[in-house]
A and B are shown apart, each in its own frame.
Chain A
Amino acid sequence: MAITRVVMPKLSEQMETGKVIKWLKQEGDRIQGGDILAEIETDKADVEMEAFGAGVLRKILVPNGETAPVGSLIAVIAEPGEDIGALVAEPGGGAAAPAREAPPAGPAADVSRRPAAVPPQPRREDHAERQPAPEAGPTAPARPVAPAPAEPTAPAPAAEPGRVKASPLARKIAAQAGVDLRLIHGSGPAGRVVRRDVEAAAAAPTTAPVPAAAVAAGPEYEDRPLSQMRATIARRMPLSKGPVPHFYVSSEVDMDPAWALREQLNALEGQPKVSVNDLVVRACALALLEHPGVNASFQGESLRVWRRVHVGIAVALEDGLITPVLRDAHAKSLGQIAVESRDLAERARARKLRTQELSGATFSISNLGMYDVTEFSAIINPPEGAILAVGAVRQVPVVRDGGVGAGRRMMLTLSCDHRVMDGAMGARFLQDVRRLLEEPLRLLV
């Protein structure tokens, strides 16, 4: 009989911890492979976690609402008679190294196991002799027990969940100051957290945990803990605005023709409703094909020019924002774009996106038109080379044939990574987006 270790799954590259929203199975429930065990909140989305092994859910180690590092043991599935005492009693609940640092027993076993939210962990280390895990397969080599670090003052970096890159000095100062390294943006090489980052974070009042009493006593402000998403945004945005040299080009679009076309399209029976944003997505996708230099990423020593257009569409959520990716937008009709982007936005709000729908954009669009924003500048989401900020369609006085009349106008502002492109390139792209929107029949062909 097998014992299955249920560990906090790593659902995205950036994920370092996950929160158990709710266990859908209780201790004592019989589990089949594929059953949904729990809902997990990650930095990007809420995800249902599948069971992998079969047996009885014997023990839940991380209760509802609690957070655990990626790779740490959160539950155990086993047959009723099996002894799981040692496993459950393991220090730190078996808070193992992250999945990539703890490879399954052998290559043969590795490929035979499909990647899943809950890989069974045959790696039993110290218990291997008493309880050989059959799933480990015949090729599984015995793994030696790693000795615990002797110096309690020097925590081994590998033991930390999520592997924050940080200098030894930064770790020590963080430990002394009570600063969570995972929430710090590293300014060292390749994002390494160095001393000055920790000192800055320690000096910033908002990141320090505030005792509950202080909140009650100090009515002038309230310190809210960061949600997973807010922490991710807080960590990632300085990675853009800091190192990426932004410049901005803006243009006003005459939206009268597009508005009229949209009304006609939306009057058609049985056709998907088209939003202004869908028109913008379509226009950008077509223009990016003509301006591949804008559909590009800075790679340090080279530029990567993407041949396909994957558009990230920023969706505002109550406690943050998320950017699902509409793939191959250049190859999709306006109708397809309308259907898919609605689906993405709805599932984003319901937090039902799959992780692969959240990465891989080559260009992004952020639209605050629904909040009556005239115009704004967006922060590029690296490694993308540009992001388009879309304002509201407004009725304004316009000069036409020497007289003043009412017209619909919309402001577009393109934020560009100056390492990828120059002003003229961004301007020409924006000019084409504008032309496509002002001659909207082009969006239909």
Chain B
Amino acid sequence: MATSKVDVAIVGTGPGGYVAAIRAAQLGLSVAAVEDDRPGGVCLNWGCIPTKALLRNAEVVHLVEKAATFGVHVENVRADYGEAVTRSRSVADRMAKGVEFLFRKNKITLVRGTGKLTSPTTVEVARTEGGTGTLEARGVIVATGSAPKSVPGVTIDEQRVLSSNGAVRQAHRPGSLIVIGAGAVGVEFADVYAAYGAQVTVLEALDRAVPVEDEEVSALLARTFSRRGIAVKTGVKVTSVAPGGPGVVVETDGGRLEAEQVLMAVGRGARTAGLGLDALGVTMDRGYVKVSPRMETSVRGVYAIGDVAGPPLLAHKAMAEGVVAAEAIAGRDPRPVDYTNVPSCTYCRPQIASVGLTEARARENGREVAIGKFPFTASGKAVAMAETEGFVKVVADKGTGEILGVHIIGPEATEIIHEFAVGRTLEATLEEIVHTVHAHPTLSEAALEATLAALGHAIHI
């Protein structure tokens, strides 16, 4: 490859990049995508997908453990964590192959290497197999994603101090683990390792677990975790992490803790180094690339999507932005992503899902709110499944019935949330949800009942 001319060059093939590539190809544009790893990015290879495989394993372990309550008596149970990781890798592998297939199907050129922008229309590629090449494009999309961050002074060595990247690959589980950060990544790994028998402690600097979620959700998760033997310590600041004891010693403002390993889950930062964005004069905003609603950066013709373009750092947000960027380059007039209506999902047990404002935030915004809450203990389907932990909480505007936010913790929360996301897109109010007949028995009935509760007349509680 010397110089190739394409309509669109995309740097990075995570969920943002590969979706942008496919959408651009659908619109008749020629597309080249640069990737230094397998296509699919962190999401498919090291994040969302392999961790969901591990979490499913954890759920199976949990089901087997309580099989006796269903009258199923299982003996000599052996849960092999190494096999869980093997299964997780094969799931990731299969999904990455799926992206490769989609690239071939859409005639997208996959260029192995790392890309650097040398002009708004030029991407220089240092090829994985050696040598360099140049892509000339009329639209360039930066989709390089993010990398795990650490606390100041602590190096992630992936031996004693793991990031999610290392943890998802590691074929054994530690006997004890300290998770620093009680966001989605932290509580998901805590769930997996605890299910496989590790002694897990979760530290959170803020005053509650899953701090972006509604306070009642945080409270219930902390209760459930502590019942499962997962210690959740909030309001704790880590001052140092050093080798010692069984593996690492963590000093905090609340005392000293020891474990075999530490998982650093304090957040992620945009991957922009070496891309040449500075030299082009691309404007940054708090460490992320600043973009317009069409995903264009301050430099005309250069677009940025996904984690690199700022929070929320979520795969589905990246995919939505990928579509917008591709359509913008194709001369369409794409509808911008509605950032107020991006669902947030955490796949620990019980699952957590939310969309819109928390109750506290709605009140801070000066809204007079109506709250409706329905526990899964009152849901026939949940009782039949023996998964009754959790609730659906609806936050609505008292005057108009506008659905301001919905917070679910409980079985299949991550599937139930979409009814409210669709409703919010359509500007449905409580009445439209209530006048939609919900099938019985389903977990989604809890969504209906919580909505009824916000109107003051839930039936089943």
Binding site for B on A (CB under 8 A): 151, 153-154, 167-170, 172-173, 176, 194-195, 243
Q: Are A168 and B399 in contact (CB under 8 A)?
A: no
Query: In the assembled complex, which residues on chain A have CB atoms less than 8 Å from the CB atom of B400?
Result: 169, 172-173, 176
Query: In the assembled complex, which residues on chain A have CB atoms less than 8 Å from the CB atom of B401?
Result: 153, 169, 172
B 424-450 contacts with A by CB, 8 A: 426-429, 431-432, 435
Contact pattern, B 386-406, Cβ under 8 Å of A = 1, otherwise 0: 000000000000011110000
In the assembly, what is the distance between CA of A176 and CA of B399, in Å? Answer: 9
B439 to chain A, nearest CB (A): 22
Q: Is the interface of B mostly helix, strand, loop or mixed?
A: loop
Contact pattern, B 408-435, Cβ under 8 Å of A = 1, otherwise 0: 0000000000000000001111011001
The 9 closest A-B pairs by CB, nearest first: A167-B427, A169-B427, A154-B431, A172-B400, A168-B429, A168-B432, A169-B402, A169-B429, A168-B428
Which residue of A has the minimal Cβ distance to B331?
A419
A-B contact pairs, 6 of them (CB 8 A): A154-B435, A167-B427, A169-B427, A169-B429, A173-B400, A176-B399
Query: In the assembled complex, which residues on chain B have CB atoms less than 8 Å from the CB atom of A176?
Result: 399-400
Which residue of A has the minimal Cβ distance to B431?
A154
Interface size on B (CB < 8 Å)? 12
Q: Are B402 and A153 in contact (CB under 8 A)?
A: no
Query: In the assembled complex, which residues on chain A have CB atoms less than 8 Å from the CB atom of B427?
Result: 167-170, 194-195
B425 to chain A, nearest CB (A): 9
B405 to chain A, nearest CB (A): 14
Contact pattern, B 305-349, Cβ under 8 Å of A = 1, otherwise 0: 000000000000000000000000000010000000000000000
Pick the most buried of A153, A168, A194: most chain B CB atoms within 10 A of its CB. Answer: A168
Query: In the assembled complex, which residues on chain B have CB atoms less than 8 Å from the CB atom of A172?
Result: 400-402, 429
In the assembly, what is the distance between CA of A429 and CA of B435, in Å? Answer: 56
Which residue of B has the minimal Cβ distance to A169?
B427
In the assembly, what is the distance between CA of A243 and CA of B428, in Å? Answer: 25
The total number of A-B Cβ pairs within 8 Å is 34
In the assembly, what is the distance between CA of A219 and CA of B315, in Å? Answer: 58
Query: In the assembled complex, which residues on chain A have CB atoms less than 8 Å from the CB atom of B431?
Result: 151, 153-154, 168
In the assembly, what is the distance between CA of A176 and CA of B432, in Å? Answer: 18
B 219-253 contacts with A by CB, 8 A: none
Which residue of A has the minimal Cβ distance to B401?
A172
Query: In the assembled complex, which residues on chain A have CB atoms less than 8 Å from the CB atom of B432?
Result: 154, 168
Given A176-B399, A176-B400, check contact A169 B435 (CB 8 Å): no
A28 to chain B, nearest CB (A): 47
In the assembly, what is the distance between CA of A102 and CA of B125, in Å? Answer: 65
Query: In the assembled complex, which residues on chain B have CB atoms less than 8 Å from the CB atom of A168?
Result: 426-429, 431-432
A43 to chain B, nearest CB (A): 27
Which residue of B has the minimal Cβ distance to A194?
B427
In the assembly, what is the distance between CA of A266 and CA of B442, in Å? Answer: 82
Query: In the assembled complex, which residues on chain A have CB atoms less than 8 Å from the CB atom of B399?
Result: 176
Query: In the assembled complex, which residues on chain B have CB atoms less than 8 Å from the CB atom of A194?
Result: 427
Given contacts A151-B431, A194-B427, 17 further A-B contacts (CB under 8 A): A151-B435, A153-B401, A154-B431, A154-B432, A167-B426, A167-B428, A168-B426, A168-B428, A168-B432, A169-B401, A169-B402, A169-B428, A172-B400, A173-B400, A176-B400, A195-B427, A243-B333
Query: In the assembled complex, which residues on chain B have CB atoms less than 8 Å from the CB atom of A173?
Result: 400
In the assembly, what is the distance between CA of A170 and CA of B440, in Å? Answer: 31
Pick the most buried of B333, B426, B427, B435: most chain A CB atoms within 10 A of its CB. Answer: B427
Which residue of B has the minimal Cβ distance to A245?
B333
Query: In the assembled complex, which residues on chain A have CB atoms less than 8 Å from the CB atom of B426?
Result: 167-168
In the assembly, what is the distance between CA of A225 and CA of B171, in Å? Answer: 75
Query: In the assembled complex, which residues on chain A have CB atoms less than 8 Å from the CB atom of B429?
Result: 168-169, 172
In the assembly, what is the distance between CA of A420 and CA of B184, in Å? Answer: 48
B133 to chain A, nearest CB (A): 33
B436 to chain A, nearest CB (A): 12
Which residue of A has the minimal Cβ distance to B333?
A243
In the assembly, what is the distance between CA of A51 and CA of B333, in Å? Answer: 48
Query: In the assembled complex, which residues on chain A have CB atoms less than 8 Å from the CB atom of B333?
Result: 243
In the assembly, what is the distance between CA of A154 and CA of B402, in Å? Answer: 13
A362 to chain B, nearest CB (A): 23
B291 to chain A, nearest CB (A): 21
Which residue of B has the minimal Cβ distance to A166?
B427
Which residue of B has the minimal Cβ distance to A167?
B427
Query: In the assembled complex, which residues on chain A have CB atoms less than 8 Å from the CB atom of B428?
Result: 167-169
Which residue of A has the minimal Cβ distance to B403?
A169
Query: In the assembled complex, which residues on chain A have CB atoms less than 8 Å from the CB atom of B402?
Result: 169, 172, 195
B156 to chain A, nearest CB (A): 44
In the assembly, what is the distance between CA of A125 and CA of B427, in Å? Answer: 34
In the assembly, what is the distance between CA of A194 and CA of B338, in Å? Answer: 14
In the assembly, what is the distance between CA of A176 and CA of B427, in Å? Answer: 16
Which residue of A has the minimal Cβ distance to B335?
A189
In the assembly, what is the distance between CA of A195 and CA of B431, in Å? Answer: 16
B94 to chain A, nearest CB (A): 35
A423 to chain B, nearest CB (A): 15
In the assembly, what is the distance between CA of A329 and CA of B190, in Å? Answer: 76
In the assembly, what is the distance between CA of A270 and CA of B435, in Å? Answer: 71
In the assembly, what is the distance between CA of A154 and CA of B435, in Å? Answer: 10
In the assembly, what is the distance between CA of A154 and CA of B430, in Å? Answer: 10
In the assembly, what is the distance between CA of A195 and CA of B400, in Å? Answer: 11
In the assembly, what is the distance between CA of A176 and CA of B435, in Å? Answer: 21
Query: In the assembled complex, which residues on chain B have CB atoms less than 8 Å from the CB atom of A169?
Result: 400-402, 427-429
In the assembly, what is the distance between CA of A269 and CA of B314, in Å? Answer: 80
Query: In the assembled complex, which residues on chain B have CB atoms less than 8 Å from the CB atom of A195?
Result: 402, 427
B426 to chain A, nearest CB (A): 6
Query: In the assembled complex, which residues on chain B have CB atoms less than 8 Å from the CB atom of A170?
Result: 427
Query: In the assembled complex, which residues on chain A have CB atoms less than 8 Å from the CB atom of B435?
Result: 151, 154
B319 to chain A, nearest CB (A): 20
Which residue of A has the minimal Cβ distance to B427?
A167
In the assembly, what is the distance between CA of A170 and CA of B426, in Å? Answer: 10
B414 to chain A, nearest CB (A): 25
In the assembly, what is the distance between CA of A173 and CA of B397, in Å? Answer: 11
In the assembly, what is the distance between CA of A195 and CA of B429, in Å? Answer: 11
In the assembly, what is the distance between CA of A305 and CA of B432, in Å? Answer: 42
